[in-house]
Amino acid sequence: MADLRDPLPRVRAALNEAGYTVAGVRELLGPVAGGALARDEIVPALRATGGGSPIEALTRLFWLQVPVDAGAVKEIVDDLVGAGLVEASGEEVRPLLHVEPLEAVVGDGHVGYAVSDLKVRPGPDAAVPDDHVVGVGGASGSLARLVTHSPVDNFLDVGTGCGVQVVHLATRNPSARITATDVNPRALRLAQMSLALSGVRGAELLEGSLLEPVQGRTFDLIVSNPPFVVAPSGDRRFTYRESGLPGDDFCRRLVSEAPALLNEGGRCQLLANWLHVEGVPWEERVGAWAEASGCEAWIVQRDVQDPAEYAELWLRDSCEMGTPEYRARYGAWLDHFERHGVTGVGFGWITLRRSGAERPAVRVEEIRHAVEEPVGAYAERVLDGLVAAEGFSTACGQGVLRVASGIVQEQIGEPGAEDPERIVLRQTGRLRRAAGVGTVEAALAGVCDGTLPLDPLLDAIAQLTGQDPADVRAHAGIVLPELIADGFFEPA
């Protein structure tokens, strides 16, 4: 039975009735004001929301974070005050928290709301509290798009913050058991509000660091947008971004310890920062994390910043640029990196899958170009390709391959030339890779449809090209595993 004393269900109904959704706000603002707001400029949005309708008032109050006339929200003002979302002062209502609508990652439509602290904007009085709870941002969006679309019975969100990942996952897995943890009690309180406003029930919220609150339990899926920021040693000024552990140890520990809490076939997916240390390839450092996990692993570096860029990014994040402390904090960050031989900091994704294999497949790579979103729609198939490549062999010749969907072939050469100088296979979707190939691979791409084993196909290619069949098989044995791992071919 619903608790009639709880105002949040009534607030949720009012937000939905007003059309306070991503699509509703987007339509209200239009492309110019919406584009300016994406750059954190609110003046065009203020001009577009002056009509006094419910959605205009709610957008001003909870997205633009400006006071509104109490009359514009008179039907729910008592519930907004009772929920702790606003404060009323005379004829004016002021926001106390930021309430942002969430759009589905899978399919279309509205999935709920994220409740967070008011966004701190740069200015002479700007100050980010130690226990500040951030809302939806680029990192949380990246993780939501990375997480696998495979259904799960139970999942864990480590470092849930305002609960945005739980809202997305609960929408896709409505009957799943939900557990979320955070070291910040305030974050758990706001996450509970996010879940209530999103209609998510029965979630278990636990206070604690890393995996301590759930030791002895297992899950089908563990996700985390962790406090990955690499701050000067011992620095934990902001719980939403800094763990207090040295360097990138928090992410390393999560990768090495989470697999013990995964069911067979379970996945762990997280965002991470990792150090580039002078004299040690970053692939070796982060690859060692994956090796220690005992899981199949796909690790992707999406960006790298030099020490100065990194320090500037996070000093801007905490609104410290232009403050008296700015130079000292900037210098402390650079001193720390110099002492530890840090040449840069990488940002990327980590996906683990517990398979029980004696030698799990591991791939560590850099992908800087745009890829098809959401990655979670095909992340499992990437891991499947790595596993298939590990086990591939042309020795028996009875394996059956097919060309993956969305592959096109490009031939590059002088106009009118009889033979191309280069042949390129290109993915039009997924990871949008391109691979230069020879005549054998190009010929296989034209005939591998999943109906015939490799042996007769390779024999036919050898006959057509005038090559020795043994040489063709040997060549295929060398190049096909990489093309399978890259997603150009897949076992039928």
> For 190-203, how does the pLDDT look when each residue is reduced to its tens digit (9 = 90+)?
999 999 999 999 99
pLDDT band for position 304 (50/70/90)?
Answer: very high
| pLDDT of 124 | 66
| pLDDT of 386 | 96
**Is the pLDDT higher at 394 or at 314?**
314
d(CA 223, CA 50): 40
| pLDDT of 108 | 79
| pLDDT of 61 | 96
d(CA 226, CA 228): 5
| pLDDT of 370 | 97
How high does pLDDT run on average in the chain? 93
> For 10-33, how does the pLDDT look when each residue is reduced to its tens digit (9 = 90+)?
999 999 999 999 999 999 999 999
Give yes or no for residue 402 having a pLDDT over 70.
yes
> For 280-298, how does the pLDDT look when each residue is reduced to its tens digit (9 = 90+)?
999 999 999 999 999 999 9
Give one DSSP letter per residue of 316-363, joined into a string. HHTT-TTSTTHHHHHHHHHHHHHHTTEEEEEEEEEEEE----SS--EE
CA trace torsion 203, 204, 208, 210 (10° rounding): -60
Length of the chain: 492
Instruction: Give backbone dihedrals phi and psi of 349, rounded to 5 degrees, phi first.
Output: -105, 150
Give me the amino acid identity at 90. Answer: G
| pLDDT of 364 | 98
The distance from CA 392 to its chain's CA centroid, rounded to whole angstroms, is 31
> For 237-256, how does the pLDDT look when each residue is reduced to its tens digit (9 = 90+)?
899 999 999 999 999 999 99
**Is the pLDDT higher at 107 or at 396?**
107
**Domain positions in the chain:** 8-96, 135-386, 392-491
Instruction: Give backbone dihedrals phi and psi of 453, rounded to 5 degrees, phi first.
Output: -70, 165
> For 460-487, how does the pLDDT look when each residue is reduced to its tens digit (9 = 90+)?
999 998 999 999 999 999 999 999 999 9
In 173-227, which residue ranges form alpha helices assigned H by DSSP? 185-197
Most confident of 156-170, 403-417, 418-432: 156-170
Give 135-386's CATH code, choosing from 3.20.80.10, 3.40.50.150, 3.10.580.10, 3.40.50.300: 3.40.50.150
| pLDDT of 1 | 44
| pLDDT of 149 | 93
Cα within 13 Å of Cα(193), Cβ side: 25
Give yes or no for residue 64 having a pLDDT over 50.
yes
| pTM for this prediction | 0.94
Lowest-confidence region among 92-101, 356-365, 392-401: 392-401
**Is the pLDDT higher at 415 or at 212?**
212
d(CA 489, CA 481): 9
| pLDDT of 419 | 76
